[in-house]
Amino acid sequence: RMGRGKAAQMASCYGVSGVLGDGKKGIEVLEYLPLQVRLKDGSLAQCDFFQTADDIERGAELLNDILDDGLYWPYWHAFGSQEEFQSYFLSDTAVRLREVHVVDGEKRLGEFLGAFYVKPNFPERCSHVCNGGFMVTRQARGRGVAQAMGKLFLRVAKDVGFRAAYFNLVFVTNQASIAVWRKLGFVALARVPKVAKLKGINGFTDAIQFYYDLTKFDHRTYKEGPNRHARQVPTGYEDTGDPWVDRRFFAGLAVGVAATLLGVMYGHLLIPRTSKA
């Protein structure tokens, strides 16, 4: 049974903390921020904490636009104020991406492209497992923003002390998101059937749950920035494309059954028959 106070407030990564956050938890170990990355289309973007009131305003507007779409996040309604956005999205660690323009040799920040947060997925005894929330503007989609954020997410999550990342609800209709997590080496552990009532889709939609073992992630692969591809060391779980199936489990089961049958047959051949009394 959930107790009172802080534990109750942390019951879910989807809850609003009630505290006006700034998204800078772990700033002392994230000294590489701001970080400049080159996107798939060749343009430059800056990854940094939410530093200005405009960052917060753009982030709140983007999240509400995505919630209004009703296709990607589990909420029915948008957030009513920037304060609610800060209490939710900026409760722990949050990074935003803005485009970088070079004008007369000087770099200037431009359009808000997207953002992500890192926060505990579960309370207290399980708080070493983090969750991530990602959002990309419509204008920036298809430019590699999500992949750049996903790569940086792994580094940030590892550096602030999390041991694993777990995404609860990646809806199967969001194929772009699924492709990013598979490419980055996340493992699909489960498929939750009929879990979401999405806007404009008849019936209910399944979701995939993705996992990443951060203890086996080498953050040094991002020494030259998050555009370097890094794959996770095998964890014992194998993503086969079907979240219900773990080939290693069934392969081991098959080997065990075969060994048992061979043992029975071999033993039967060696044991001499005895005559009935």
Highest-scoring range by mean pLDDT, 4-8, 75-79, 103-107, 174-178: 174-178
Q: What pLDDT is recorded for position 13?
A: 67
pLDDT tens digits, one per residue of 203-230: 999 999 999 999 999 866 654 444 343 3
Q: What pLDDT is recorded for position 63?
A: 97
Residue 55 — pLDDT band, cuts 50, 70, 90? very high
Domain assignments of the chain as residue spans, ordered by start: 27-243
Highest-scoring range by mean pLDDT, 79-83, 109-113, 265-269: 109-113
pLDDT tens digits, one per residue of 115-168: 999 999 999 999 999 999 999 999 999 999 999 999 999 999 999 999 999 999
Q: What pLDDT is recorded for position 2?
A: 33
Q: What is d(CA 125, CA 50) in angstroms, rounded to the nearest whole number?
A: 29
Checking if the pLDDT of 14 tops 90, the result is no
DSSP H or E stretch at residue 133: strand 129-136
Average pLDDT along the chain: 82
Residue 249 — pLDDT band, cuts 50, 70, 90? very low
pLDDT tens digits, one per residue of 155-209: 999 999 999 999 999 999 999 999 999 999 999 999 999 999 999 999 999 999 9
Q: Beta strand pairing status for 205-213 and 93-103?
A: unpaired
Checking if the pLDDT of 62 tops 60, the result is yes
Are 212 and 164 spatial neighbours (Cβ–Cβ below 8 Å)?
yes
Checking if the pLDDT of 19 tops 70, the result is yes
Q: What pLDDT is recorded for position 102?
A: 87
pLDDT tens digits, one per residue of 21-47: 999 999 999 999 999 999 999 999 999
Q: What pLDDT is recorded for position 277?
A: 37
For residues 138-168, b (16+ Cβ closer than 10 Å) or e, as one string?
A: eebeebbbbbbbbbbbbbbbbbbebebbbbb
Are 54 and 42 spatial neighbours (Cβ–Cβ below 8 Å)?
no
More confident site: 259 or 201:
201
Q: What pLDDT is recorded for position 199?
A: 96
Are 95 and 48 spatial neighbours (Cβ–Cβ below 8 Å)?
yes
Mean pLDDT across 91-103:
95
Class of domain 27-243 as given by CATH? alpha beta
Q: What pLDDT is recorded for position 255?
A: 47
Q: What pLDDT is recorded for position 218?
A: 83
